[in-house]
Amino acid sequence: MSQAAERLAALRAELRRQGVDGLVLPRTDMFGSEYLPEAEERVAWLTGFTGSAARVIVLPDTAAVFTDGRYTLQVKDEVEGNLYDTPNLIETPPSEWLRERLSPDLRIGYDPMLHLRADIAKLEGDCAAKGAASVALPLNPVDAIWADRPPPPLKPIRAHPLDYAGEPSVEKRRRMLEHVRAAGAEALFVSSADGVAWLLNIRGDDVPFNPLCLGLGLVLPDERAVLLTDPRKRPEGFAFEDDGIALHDLADRRSLYAELARETPTVLVDTAITHQGLIAELKDAGLCVIEGRDPLTPAKASKNPAEVRGAKRAQLVDGAAVSRFLAWLDRLNQTDELAAAVALEAERARSADYLGPSFDTISGAGPNGAIVHYRVTERTNRTLEPGSLYLVDSGGQYVDATTDITRTVALGTPSEEMRRRFTLVLKGHISLATCVFPERTTGAQLDAFARRALWEAGLDFDHGTGHGVGSHLCVHEGPQRIAKRGGDVALAAGMIVSNEPGSYAEGAFGIRIENLMLVVALGTPEGGERALLGFETLTLAPIDLRLVDGALLTEAERSWLDAYHVRVREELLPLVDDASRPWLEAATAPLNVSG
């Protein structure tokens, strides 16, 4: 019996011990984090799937791992097919799969610390429709059988300087309390670790890639704040109290809530992002929960002038590192995916302001580039071969910003199909980068700009077009998103979003072009009636001209590409070494349409 089979059998035994027949297990933690510490990687430990988005359902005689189009190939590679089905959660929603397999009297368990109220209500409705029952479990069954579960992280908290944050924590708290009082509450409960980090101007190293200290936050009526985390994370000499912040042990939070209930009985909670188990703790302590929209999320998304300056500065440093890497790659006769990823990391590390990657580098050669969220290992490592494409999606955490960039480059002479598809992706990228739109326009309304050229050729891509990016915070930050589904939040000036259309030929190659963009206010044009917004491209690195079929571009598209490369050349030439300068000049030359 394989390790995965043993763990699944042990889980089913534990479910029977707890008096239930099945389990719904999302890949998350109590804070709703995307990247998790080892102790919270329950899905990976149980099933072997290591992607960043998944939901597992275990029943007495069947089980499934649901994920999205980014991980279609990866999940089949990592998960044992004889143990788990691996449906696409868009094509086969977990609730639909479960409903078809429910029977009367089945009891389906869940951990309320990992589920939103809406998810639980959906589960309850599905179960009731089939005469089954959903059951909140006091102990997560995976935790009960995970004998060698790693300890929680204890890395020290660090301050995020005002020069980078742009606003003192007390001013942020004062602004948030205006929304709290307008909602009829007195205090604010913050459940997301990135919300706590932004609000208190702190950062940490509890999870990979995102600089977070895992903890909860409270903003009190007198503008003081409470940080609930492990007190051992307090660095020596760190004076939280000077900023009106009290540090309390996360493990003792229920007693703190009870004290708060006697002085400040109403607290604003966003039930759309706060897990039900946390809400139940507040209510059990005697607090009156006022439901409302979390004011931190939109405030954090719209960057202030200091954060915008940091983003632009970091993009220069990052673009120079990527350009030096691409120049190095062009000079080589041969390398492989792992060596290339190491080389790119080394270029970024040359900056003293670089603190590490913002996500696992996707270094995909040939057919591996078609795996949208591919992660190279010793087993999958491929040589970069002439006549193929190489896709590298990477990013960095800098002291003042977070970066994310994808470039696809030709290795040797590309085929006409490679050039055709790359140019169609580029047309979509340019279309989105140059679009102008009225205020209150959502990302979903803009998504088709990036897809039209591909659609007209009978092509598409199964991932979002753009995600928000934090300010030395999460590389995937809401609420803004550009996508077919879920992009229902209006874009606003100061937001940073990615622009990353792609095309993937399974078993052959992958193409993606990604830049980060800043939403900017354009005012109301003469004769117009509505104020407009547009995008300013932040990312600076060459787009491979060898893959561009100039005949497929309009004159306006060619002008955009040439102007972008003029800017890349002028701003990055002083930042690259002598060996890279000739390459950068050639890579940013005007497009040769006839060539």
| pLDDT for res 595 | 52
Residue that the structure tokens 């940490």 belong to: 204
| pLDDT for res 77 | 86
In this structure, what is the dihedral angle of CA atoms 81, 459, 409, 407, given to the nearest 10 degrees?
Answer: -80
Q: Distance from CA of residue 286 to its chain's centroid?
A: 35
| pLDDT for res 242 | 77
Which domains does the chain show, CATH number per domain? 3-145 (3.40.350.10), 158-295 (3.40.350.10), 302-586 (3.90.230.10)
Q: pLDDT digits over 342-374, tens only?
A: 999 999 999 999 999 999 999 999 999 998 888
| pLDDT for res 594 | 65
Q: Average pLDDT, stretch 198-226?
A: 97
**Is the CB of residue 183 less than 8 Å from the CB of residue 271?**
no
Return the minimum-mean-pLDDT range out of 89-98, 412-421, 537-546. Answer: 89-98
Closest by Cα among 355, 331, 465 to 406: 465
Long-range own/partner contacts, residues 379-383 (CB < 8 A, 24 or more apart): 380/337, 381/336, 381/337, 381/338, 382/336, 382/337, 383/334, 383/335, 383/336
Return the minimum-mean-pLDDT range out of 133-137, 182-186, 236-240, 477-481. Answer: 236-240
| pLDDT for res 264 | 85
Q: Average pLDDT, stretch 100-124?
A: 96
Q: pLDDT digits over 457-492, tens only?
A: 999 998 999 999 999 999 999 999 999 987 789 999
Looking at every residue in the chain, the average pLDDT score rounds to 95
Q: pLDDT digits over 37-75, tens only?
A: 999 999 999 999 998 889 999 999 999 999 987 788 788
| pLDDT for res 241 | 74
Distance CA 359, CA 361 (A): 6
| pLDDT for res 70 | 75
Residue that the structure tokens 């409705």 belong to: 125
| pLDDT for res 261 | 95
